[in-house]
Every structure is written in structure tokens, then in C-alpha cells.
Structure 1
Amino acid sequence: MKRKKIIKIIGIVAICFHFTNCVNDNDFEIPASLGNEENTKLTNLLDSIQAGIYQLKTIKEVKELYISGNEPLKVASKIVVKGYVVSSDQKGNYFREFYMQDAPENPTAGLKISLNLSNNYNKFNFGREVYIFLKDLYIGETNSGDGIITIGGKINPTDALEIQSVSTNQLEKHVFRSENTLEIIPKLVSLAGLNASDIGTFVKVENVVFPENLQGKAFVDPTEDFDTQRKIQTCQTLGFADLLVETSSFASFANKTLPSGGGTIKAVVSNDFGGDFLVLVLNSDEDISMDGERCTTLSESDFLTILLEEDFENESGEISVTDWLNYREEGTQSWRSYSDTYSQSKAARVGSRNSGNASTITWLITKGVNLDTTNEEFLSFETSNSFANGSNLEVLISTNWDGTKTNVTAATWDISPANIVSDGENFKNWVHSTYINLSDYSGTVFIAFKYTGTGNINFDGTYELDNIKINAR
């Protein structure tokens, strides 16, 4: 089970307060070029990569070396990772850290660097190309279990599952910036489609609004000492998708009023402190452009044709809905009927807890649904959990599965941009998926709910599923 810790950061906050209040935004200028010594170090590093002495790995490959919640990994081999800086502490919304992604446009992975350097935007400015020599540094988390894989300089002496900043002395030997500062093109995404793989990348979301009940409020709640999360929404044809914008109380724009119109937001994807849910973190309030009209959306009453509906009320034991498939790819655990005490209804449930299986992969696949008889279709469902604990639930869509067990994994399955319950959600709560637009598909489609877990206690949680529906018109 993910550990919940008492926050012990009063001293850090005091330091943060000092730095964010004593340094004006214009006190420093971004260096236009590198010094000779820095140029030489980077040249030697690149020569070593070219000669095969060092190995250049992608951010994705580096992140795969570590599993969230485990002991930090001290890198023993001579590997290097390259990235482009996508965060900035100039406005005080970051503290002694920066994020970098693997490409200036259409990134596939991002990584957090924890470093003992305030106002680091003066050296590691937005768009700067950076190389990190990882030997003897650590891959881990600064807050164990938060899901933000980070490069650090040493083990936390008070918690062996956490890492601390790369020191000033280590920076000179391990972190090298090139002369290149590239334009970062934010990746256009939907709020519902964001997931853990997007952490550390710079994204853009269109047609967003802050809910009406936040009108007149500031980015940061004046009663909060640290961070405030404010809900942001994007309009869909049917319903809203939403996420949280997280702002530090030390950000220079903390007391500014949230915009009341509609428009776009550009931000870095991250997790909240406990790693329970995704958040968007701004570099500056200037990355919000919401002076336009607020978008509007339709409701279920506008989509009265029901193509698929299942609430599992007639199920018991293993789920066995007519023309559906309950398929175990790996392990012994199937989707089973579950009576929820709090909602007073039945649901489908799957989990690998206490299964003894090294790997659990279980699919629940709907019957085929013909989309050619309607013009617009939207999928929705609800999920809950009992300590999801790093296990994973995906919603997939296929148009070429032939309906047989043997070809489940051979078919093409698209990942659906659905909102699925997070690890930190109260186990009593049911979370709506948002409405997933199926209108780009034609013919017969199958919807799959794919669960993945392991024998590791940090990855053996349980998910519940209910009220699956496809509305159309």
C-alpha cells in the first residue's frame, strides 16, 4: 500500500520564501553562450558517446529502470540522458527542480531533475538542451510513491526510499547544457486523455474554462500554506472533462484572480504531492489565454439512442454477460460480480491482491456495437477502487477484433481518453469517465476494460466498474 507521510518541509518552505521574495524577475539574464570550460566538458561528453565509452539513453529508457515506490536506483553504468527544459522557476511556481522532455515537439516522455539551485531558469532556461551523465546519480522519487520519476544526487538520510537534490558540486560533473535553446511546441492534448506517461511534458489544452463556482477566486486559496488545486474543465460535445491546476503559494501570480472566460492553457503535467492524481503546473499565468467566450456543452437528454448499457445487476460470480468476453491473459483473476455496500448496487470487480500471481492481465470485452446506424456516439462508465496501488486499468477500443479469445492480443486496440479513478480516491466514491467520443469510428466496435497487476504489493490493487453506456443520436 502506498505510504502516506507527514509533510516535513517547514525549513524548505522558509528557504523557498527567502528566494522567491528577495530575487526580482529581472535581476538575472539568461546566458547567451557557454563558458569555455563548460563547452569543453560537454564536448568531451559528446565525444565519449560517439566513441561508445558512454551510452546515450532516452528519457523513456531511463524511467523504465525504476518502479515507483521502490528503493532508489544508484546508476552504476556510464549512461547519459538528453532532454529539453520545459519548466521555469522564474515565477516561483517551481522550487529547486526542472522538468525536461525528450523532444522539443511531440514528446513521448518527461523527467524531473531535483537540484540544489534556486532561480535555475537563469542557467536551465525554457527550451535549453541538457545532457545528464547519470553514473553515480540516483533515479527515484523525492516523495516515495508520488509517481514522479526523478534524477537526484543522494539518498535522503531520513528516508531510504527517497532521493535528494543533485548538489552544486555534482552539477558541474553531471549536468551539462548545450548552446542550443529550441522552441518548445506544446503537445495538444485533451484533459480526459492525459495519463501518467505524460508526466514531465509540456502540453496545451484548448476550449478550457474554470468552473463558474470559482469565479472571482485567486489561483491560490488564501487559507492554504503550500499548494492549491483549482479545477479546470474542457467542453466536449457531451459533458465536460476536468483536471486540476496546481499552484504554489509562493508563485508570483498566486493572488491573481482566475480568468472568467474561455480559451487555452499551456502547462507541465505532473502529480500532486501524494501521487494520487494528475495536475497541470504553470510556468507563468501568461501561459493561460482565456479571454474568449466560455464554451458550452450538451447533455444526455440530447442523445436518447442507447447502443449499449450494462449495470451488472443480473450478474453473480464470474461476469458472464451474453456476447461479452471475460478473458484471463495472465494469472488466475477474472472480473467478478461485486455488491457495493455504499451504492447499494452490483458492479464488476477485478484485482490481483493476494492472488499469488507474478502477473495479472485480465480483459472484460463488450459485445460488438454497430456505429453505422447513428451519427454521433459517446461511451461512458464509472470506476471505483479499493487501493488501486499502482495497478492499472485501461479502456481500449477495437474495430478489427474477431470476437475470439485467441485473437484478443492480436487485434488492434486504441487507448481511450477516459477518466479512470485514481489511487488516492476515497474507496466509497465512484468516478465518471467523462463522455468518450466514438464518432471517428465506424462499423462494429468492441470496448475492452483491461486490468494489469502484479504480485508486488505496490501494484496489486482492485478496481470496480459499473454503469457502462453508449449514448447516440
Structure 2
Amino acid sequence: MKTIKILPLTLLFIAVFAVISCVEDDDYDIPSVEFTEPNIEANTTISIIKSMYAGSLVDFTAASNGGELIMEGYVVSNDEAGNFYKVLILQDTPENPTAAIQLDVDVTSMYALYKPGRKVYVKLNGLGMDNLNGVLHIGAIQGTSVGRISATNYTDFIIRSGEIATMVPKVITPADYSDNYINMLVQIDNMQLSLPEVGLPYANASDTFTVNRNLKNCDDESSTILRNSGFAAFKNELFPTGSGSIVAVFSKYNSDYQIFIRDTDDINFNGERCDPPLLECTGTSGGTQVIFDENFEGTTEATLTSEGWININANAGTYKYSLRSFSGNSYMQTTAYNSNENPYEAWLITPAINLDASTSEQLTFKTNVGYYNGDALSVYVSTDFTGNSADISDATWLAVDAILPQGPTSGYGTTFTNSGPINVSCLEGNMYVAFKYLGSSTGITTTFQVDDVKVTGN
């Protein structure tokens, strides 16, 4: 007869506890009893490693000349909320870093072993580095580029230290954006969600596509792309509507700078919004009397200037609005693309439109976009603007609630979008309508076209 031995309850408990204790200390909320510091020492830095890139794949084994390259860094990323996928991002110090780098690893839920602040060593021999869409990646060599480090041996290359530091984000402004900050943990103050996107969630609730949300800086009104994964756990949550600070990992896609949050704790938008006052007129508007009408047909830029239109680059640059024509239709167009201005700010302002002899006035216009990568156009009205371009910043400009297109991202829209009726009946005297474009050659470069500016009344 076969004999089955049953462990006493006490021994069974000890055995179970021993198994649990063998789990990596970060996998569960169990205090670490002991952590053996690895016998390893870095002999290079992230800065030096990045400087090795000269336009093509870097093979670290070949570059080490028979030695071993080992760098160290502190974990910045956190994939627990799903906004990062199979990447581990390191910077060289917990505070005031000088360089950061991305490692591509074919593993999910890396936060279990590599939480933010964890110091790690990276054995680079056997790996490579390449530039993918403007960002340097370290990974397994695959042909002439790099892919993800295998899940079967990634711990041979990435060695954990017992040190866990407090990560202090580097405070920057949109004017500071540069490749130097790529993959660093940064903090940007005085930010808010762009007005057209207020009320939207972080991403799309109905699909898993990645979504760009556009943040506006309250100091310089510039736009910043916040990229949110369609797999993020917080994608269905409504984006905070106030203003404040955001902590994020700085990144880049081709020529566009963008940021990634690790989870919603990185956003602190509890302050009041900094939007310009919104024009809010009540009562009826419309009418059949045409007070002002400009469709840009059969004219020139010189003629428009002589009629009182203002077309100016606020930073005295060479780029501004230009008169264009396509398929027999003329319009005014501008873009920050190739402007080499950061930011690029252009104003197109109508001549004075007198409202004293009319009532129930209504403003309409049409816009089209090309290669949309963020909102760059704002439309305002003013009745205390002098008509002199030198006085633009001194005037009181009221934002109008207009419908503006948000696409396509490739090519141009096939039709112009009507702004919808904008009630301006509460204004008196000379009204000016301003189309303000604010973008950046390294950020928002959407092309905007303006046409059929019209005011009617009774």
C-alpha cells in the first residue's frame, strides 16, 4: 500500500512562507528581508554612451575594444498604468540630470522590478544603440538597427541595485525644449488642457489608439503634445480642466517634442484656467445686411494692407500669413513649419468693422488645416484696439467660441470648416477680428487657412 505523508500544520505554514519569501521583493507589498548589492561598477556614463552615436547603429561589443561597457542610471519610467510599453527609461542622476536614455525590453509590468528611483547597472556588451524617430534606443541588435531585449535574458543585461532614490523632476519651460531633455523626468508649470479639448478624456474610450492631447502654457501660450496610450488604465478618465503643473517624461517623435505621464498623479491641474475672457453676447444675431465681407478673391497682399488688414510676425521674423490659391479659391495661410522660430507667432487682423449703424451683428469665417499636429489658431475680437500693429499687446482681446477643424494629420482637408454663427451684437464701435497663430518649428506646425470672413446684421 502506498503511504501518503501529511506535513504538520506548522511545517506547512513555514514551507508556504519560504516560497512567498523567495518572490522578488518588489512583486508584492512584502518588506524585503535582505538585498545583496551586486558586485558591479559602472565604467561609463549615459552621456558618453549617447555621444557614441554618429548616425548609424552602435554595436557596443565592437565599441568596447575587448573590454566591457557598463553604465548606471536611475529608473524614470513606470508602466504600471499602461502608458509606457516595454521600455525602461533611465537618467544619470535622481536630480538635475545631464543625460537620459531609453532601453527597449520585451517585458511588460516592469514596474514590479524597476520602480521609479531604482538604481540599475546596464551591461552594454551584446546590445546596440540606434536613433528611432528622433530618440536614441538601446536594445538587442537586429540587422542594422535595434529591437527589444529578449524576455529570457534581459536580467543578464539590466542589474538592479539596492538603492532607491527619490526622483526630483527637472523644472523646464516650453522655451527650454531641446533634445538635451529627451527621456528626462521634467516638470512644466502653468499648463492646462487646450480649450477645444476641455471635457474630453485622456484618450478614446471606444478604441485603443494612442491620442495626443494638447496642453497650453499660460505664460507664453505655446502648445505641448501630451501623448496618451489607448491601453492606459486611465484612458477613460476625464482630463482635469484646471491649470497647474505636470510631471512627465520628455520625448520626441521625428521633429515634434512630446511628453508622457506615468499615471494621473503626474498631473496637478487644480488652479483656475488662464484662458482669455470669452465673448458672450446674448440676444438675436444674424440679419441680411452685409457689414463686412472678405473672401480674398481677386486681391493681393499689398491691396489687403492698403485696406487696413494687419499681417505681422510678432517676433519680427520673416514668416507670416500669405495669400494662397488652390482650385480657384483664395485664402490666407500660415504655418510654423520651417519657420525656425520657437515660438512662431503671427497675427492676421481685419480692418476696423464699424457696428454703430447696425444691430444683431453676427461673425462667421471658414478655416481649413493641413498636417494637423495640434491647435495653433485662436480667434479674437476687440473694440479697443487702435488699428496699429504696435498696440496689439495693449488691446483687450476677447476669445470667440468658434468651430475649428482638427485634422487631417497628413495632407490637407478637402473642404473648409464653417466657424458657426458667432454673436457679436453686444459690441459697439469699431470691431477688429484677429486670427492669432501660435506654433513652433519644433512643436505644433499645423497649417491653418482662413477664408470668407463675414459680418452681417440688421
* TM bracket (short chain): 0.5 to 0.7
1:265 aligns with 2:274: no
> Measured at CA, do residues 244 and 379 of structure 1 come closer, stay the same or move farther in structure 2, by a change above 3 Å?
closer
1:29 aligns with 2:28: yes
Work out whether residues 88 and 126 of structure 1, in 8 Å CA contact, stay in contact via their aligned partners in 2.
yes
What's 1:103 paired with? Answer: 93
> Measured at CA, do residues 381 and 260 of structure 1 come closer, stay the same or move farther in structure 2, by a change above 3 Å?
closer
Work out whether residues 107 and 201 of structure 1, in 8 Å CA contact, stay in contact via their aligned partners in 2.
yes
Q: How many Å separate the matches in 1 of 2:255 and 2:240? A: 27
Report % sequence identity: 23
1:220 aligns with 2:220: no
What's 1:84 paired with? Answer: 74
What's 1:182 paired with? Answer: 165
TM-score where L is the length of structure 2: 0.55
Q: How many Å separate the matches in 1 of 2:232 and 2:104? A: 18
Work out whether residues 34 and 179 of structure 1, in 8 Å CA contact, stay in contact via their aligned partners in 2.
no
1:199 aligns with 2:185: no
Give the aligned residue type for 2:95: E
State the secondary structure of the residue aligned to 2:48: helix
Work out whether residues 188 and 247 of structure 2, in 8 Å CA contact, stay in contact via their aligned partners in 1.
yes
1:289 aligns with 2:279: no
Aligned residues: 294
Q: How many Å separate the matches in 1 of 2:141 and 2:183? A: 21
1:252 to 206, 218, 233: 233
State the secondary structure of the residue aligned to 1:75: helix
Alpha-carbon shift at residue 228 of structure 1 (Å): 0.5
Alpha-carbon shift at residue 259 of structure 1 (Å): 0.5
1:58 to 37, 45, 57: 45
2:59 to 44, 59, 73: 73
Give the aligned residue type for 1:243: T
Work out whether residues 192 and 242 of structure 1, in 8 Å CA contact, stay in contact via their aligned partners in 2.
no
Give 1 or 2 for the bigger CA radius of gyration: 2
Which is further off, 98-107 or 288-297? 288-297
Q: How many Å separate the matches in 1 of 2:189 and 2:245? A: 4
| Cα RMSD, aligned residues only | 4.2
Work out whether residues 315 and 345 of structure 2, in 8 Å CA contact, stay in contact via their aligned partners in 1.
no
Q: How many Å separate the matches in 2 of 1:346 and 1:283? A: 35
Work out whether residues 98 and 113 of structure 1, in 8 Å CA contact, stay in contact via their aligned partners in 2.
yes
> Measured at CA, do residues 278 and 33 of structure 1 come closer, stay the same or move farther in structure 2, by a change above 3 Å?
farther
> Measured at CA, do residues 240 and 200 of structure 1 come closer, stay the same or move farther in structure 2, by a change above 3 Å?
same
Q: How many Å separate the matches in 2 of 1:254 and 1:281? A: 13
State the secondary structure of the residue aligned to 1:61: helix
Work out whether residues 30 and 122 of structure 1, in 8 Å CA contact, stay in contact via their aligned partners in 2.
no
Give the aligned residue type for 1:182: A
Q: How many Å separate the matches in 2 of 1:103 and 1:65? A: 20
State the secondary structure of the residue aligned to 1:188: strand
Give the aligned residue type for 2:61: V
Give the aligned residue type for 2:120: V
Give the aligned residue type for 1:277: D
Work out whether residues 240 and 297 of structure 1, in 8 Å CA contact, stay in contact via their aligned partners in 2.
no
Work out whether residues 314 and 345 of structure 2, in 8 Å CA contact, stay in contact via their aligned partners in 1.
no
Alpha-carbon shift at residue 147 of structure 1 (Å): 1.5
Deviations 1:59-84 (A, max 9, x none): 1211122245x345343211111111
Which sections of structure 1, spanning at least 5 residues, go unmatched?
1-26, 50-55, 299-305, 314-338, 352-362, 365-377, 383-424, 435-448, 450-462, 464-473
State the secondary structure of the residue aligned to 1:240: coil
Q: How many Å separate the matches in 1 of 2:319 and 2:83? A: 46
Deviations 1:262-294 (A, max 9, x none): 11110101124xx34111111001110111111
Alpha-carbon shift at residue 29 of structure 1 (Å): 2.4
Work out whether residues 200 and 239 of structure 2, in 8 Å CA contact, stay in contact via their aligned partners in 1.
yes
Q: How many Å separate the matches in 1 of 2:47 and 2:316? A: 38
Q: How many Å separate the matches in 1 of 2:315 and 2:240? A: 39
Work out whether residues 105 and 139 of structure 2, in 8 Å CA contact, stay in contact via their aligned partners in 1.
yes
Q: How many Å separate the matches in 2 of 1:250 and 1:270? A: 19
1:114 aligns with 2:101: no
What's 2:156 paired with? Answer: 173
Give the aligned residue type for 2:252: N
